[in-house]
Amino acid sequence: MRCSLGATPACKVLLWTDILEFLRQLILETKLQEERKWGMPTYTLNGKNVVILGVFKESCVLSFLKGELLEDPFQLLERPGPNSQKSRFIRFTQLSQAQEIEDEIKEYLLQAIEVERLGKKASAKPVIPVLPEELLQKFAEHPGLESAFLALTPGRQRGYVIHFSEAKQSTTRLNRIEKCLPKIFAGKGMLD
């Protein structure tokens, strides 16, 4: 389990069991195979991840991993966040909501399967992060920091830059950078 509340009465999955079971049955009617990855039901085609069922406190989602490649004629697909690139999801809070758009969900599932079957790749949009001034300042103060930071994977660099840049005040950005120095020097990402 990813969450310490997993398999307990406080588990948020229990809030959405009826919707999740409905979505699961729709998915199982397709060619997708059910697996468990990252502690979540993940549905694959020839070993490639296609969709995931996810849960949050306020909703559950049907997440399409190559969602940017799907047409969205019903305007149901959402980006998980402002910095997300490839995945898209449909959010649910009531079983009736999912039942009302059953045909649309099936169409998105068929599209996702076809995208994977054809081997389409989501566009690799290398995002060159704009480094905050405070990070550049720390590069000058700490020998080896710049090379350690640039040795990180692009995703780890991006994670740090987003974390540092979200702070509104320069002192907060400097504090965040200072706290992350050991991880950066160790070659680890924010969540490692």
d(CA 192, CA 186): 10
What Rg do the C-alpha atoms of the chain give, in angstroms? 20
Longest pairwise C-alpha distance within the chain: 59
Indicate the domain borders of the chain. Answer: 12-117, 133-185
170: how many CB neighbours lie within 10 A of its CB? 12
Packed helices 154-166 and 133-141: angle between N→C axes, nearest 10 degrees: 110
pLDDT digit string, tens, across residues 26-63? 999 999 999 999 888 999 999 999 999 998 889 999 99
Which is more confidently placed, 37 or 1?
37
- pTM of the entire predicted model: 0.67
d(CA 139, CA 150): 11
**Amino acid 1: pLDDT:** 45
Kindly state the helix (H) or strand (E) to which residue 169 belongs, with its residue range: none
User: Which DSSP category does 69 fall into?
Assistant: G
104: how many CB neighbours lie within 10 A of its CB? 13
- pLDDT exceeds 50 at position 149: yes
- pLDDT exceeds 70 at position 83: no
- Out of 4-8, 58-62, 91-95, 165-169, pick the least confident: 4-8
Q: Where does residue 23 fall: left (phi above 0), alpha (psi -120 to 50 degrees), or beta otherwise?
A: alpha
Q: How far is CA 161 from CA 83, 111, 121, 148, in A?
A: 11, 34, 26, 14
**Amino acid 81: pLDDT:** 78
pLDDT digit string, tens, across residues 164-188? 999 999 999 999 999 999 999 999 9
Report the CATH number of the 12-117 domain: 3.90.1150
60-64 and 88-92 beta bridge pairing: antiparallel
Q: For the stretch 124-139, what's the b/e string if a residue is b when 16 or more beta carbons lie within 10 angstroms of its beta carbon?
A: eeeeeeebbebbeebb
88-92 and 48-55 beta bridge pairing: unpaired
